[in-house]
């Protein structure tokens, strides 16, 4: 699976970026080829999905058993690779951090992305939850039915939300950072929760820019603790990767995965796969995420051959072609959406 955090890793926009050479990637799906001596509960040939602390974009992946989960028989490998990061992040923010309940309202940015679509699906499992979403205007037609109210990401969404809900919202999920932090806090109802889980506004070009990085942080509204308690507001942060690999909460994540797979087996939730790409096309795939052209998750498929470039293609983008069959069980022949020019 490709995630926006992979772009941040590439540009060094994270604490303690890893040294090169590096194989990126934090999640994958596949078939068990070998087991450690003390591994219980898995057999060679099992279909699994897994979290990996880097090195997921490879034909062979090795990871500790506590980060590996069996996948349902009717879940394709592309769905499984799109499942862990997005749905665990969405579930834990909504239910573990913000305590989503009946009748609440949620604002989610990048509503057309993998996490945004997971948030929308999980909100639908609770009665009378209102979901406000922001997304690029070209995505609105495709995702309009997944959220209650949809706004253009460049519009004044604060005024639009307040026009519909005078008091604001109960939960704000912010993956953008920058000036959106202050806007999100201003929209919170009393006892509302603002959760920062990304900072995609800091990724602006091919390489890390000190000025865009500094500008994003400069735009973050300084949080006054006195003001927080006077207004009865909660501000929180969430990093699934730190929870897994630095804070040793794999047992908690396993229980969340079990709950999510029950929802999947009940056909209540389903990963949204935007497109499949060959490993050789990783540059174009990352460009698609950078340009926010995806609806749902982009997947690197190690068995897929690269799509031939068309005569009018540039080196930065590739035309959308018919997807080849996923030989490992995903037989949905999806057409890849073209880049937004």
pLDDT value at residue 266: 96
pLDDT value at residue 333: 38
Instruction: Give the whole-angstrom CA distance, residue 333 versus residue 123.
Output: 29
Instruction: Give the whole-angstrom CA distance, residue 179 versus residue 187.
Output: 13
DSSP 196: E
What is the dotted CATH code of the domain comprising 4-209+218-300? 3.40.50.720
* Number of C-beta neighbours around residue 18 at 10 A: 13
pLDDT value at residue 23: 92
Residues of the chain with pLDDT under 50: 201-204, 208, 210-211, 217-219, 310-341
pLDDT value at residue 341: 27
pLDDT value at residue 102: 97
Q: Burial letters for 189-211: b for 16+ Cβ neighbours within 10 Å, e otherwise? A: beebbbbbbbbbbbbbeeebbee
Length of the chain: 341
Distance of alpha carbon 251 from the chain centroid:
21
């Amino acid at each position: 699976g490709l995630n926006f955090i992979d772009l941040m890793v590439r540009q060094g926009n994270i604490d303690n970026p890893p040294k090169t050479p590096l194989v990126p990637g934090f999640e994958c799906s596949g078939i068990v080829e070998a087991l450690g001596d003390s591994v219980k509960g898995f057999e060679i040939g099992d279909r699994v999905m897994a979290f990996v602390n880097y090195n997921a974009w490879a034909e062979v992946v090795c990871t500790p058993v506590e980060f590996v989960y069996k996948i349902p028989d009717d879940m394709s490998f592309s769905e499984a690779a799109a499942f862990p990061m997005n749905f665990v992040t969405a579930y834990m923010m909504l239910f573990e951090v913000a305590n989503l309940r009946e009748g609440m309202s949620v604002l989610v940015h990048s509503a057309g992305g993998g996490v945004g679509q997971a948030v929308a699906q999980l909100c639908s499992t609770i009665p009378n939850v209102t979901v406000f979403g922001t997304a690029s205007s070209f995505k609105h037609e495709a995702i309009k039915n997944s959220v209650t109210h949809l706004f253009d990401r460049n519009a004044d969404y604060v005024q639009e939300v307040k026009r519909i809900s005078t008091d604001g919202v109960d939960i704000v999920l912010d993956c953008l950072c920058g000036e959106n932090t202050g806007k999100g806090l201003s929209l919170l109802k009393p006892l509302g929760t603002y959760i920062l889980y990304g900072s995609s506004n800091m990724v602006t070009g091919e390489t890390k820019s000190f000025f865009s990085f500094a500008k994003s942080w400069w735009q973050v509204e300084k949080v006054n603790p006195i003001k927080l308690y006077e207004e009865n507001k909660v501000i929180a942060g969430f990093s699934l990767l730190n929870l897994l690999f630095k804070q040793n909460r794999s047992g908690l994540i396993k229980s969340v995965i079990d709950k999510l797979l029950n929802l999947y087996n009940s056909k209540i939730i389903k990963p949204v796969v935007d497109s499949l790409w060959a490993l050789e096309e990783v540059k174009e795939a990352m460009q698609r995420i950078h340009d926010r052209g995806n609806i749902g998750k982009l997947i690197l498929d190690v068995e897929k051959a690269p799509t031939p470039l068309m005569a009018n293609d540039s080196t930065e983008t590739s035309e959308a072609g018919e997807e080849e069959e996923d030989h490992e069980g995903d037989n949905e022949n999806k057409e890849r959406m073209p880049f937004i020019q």
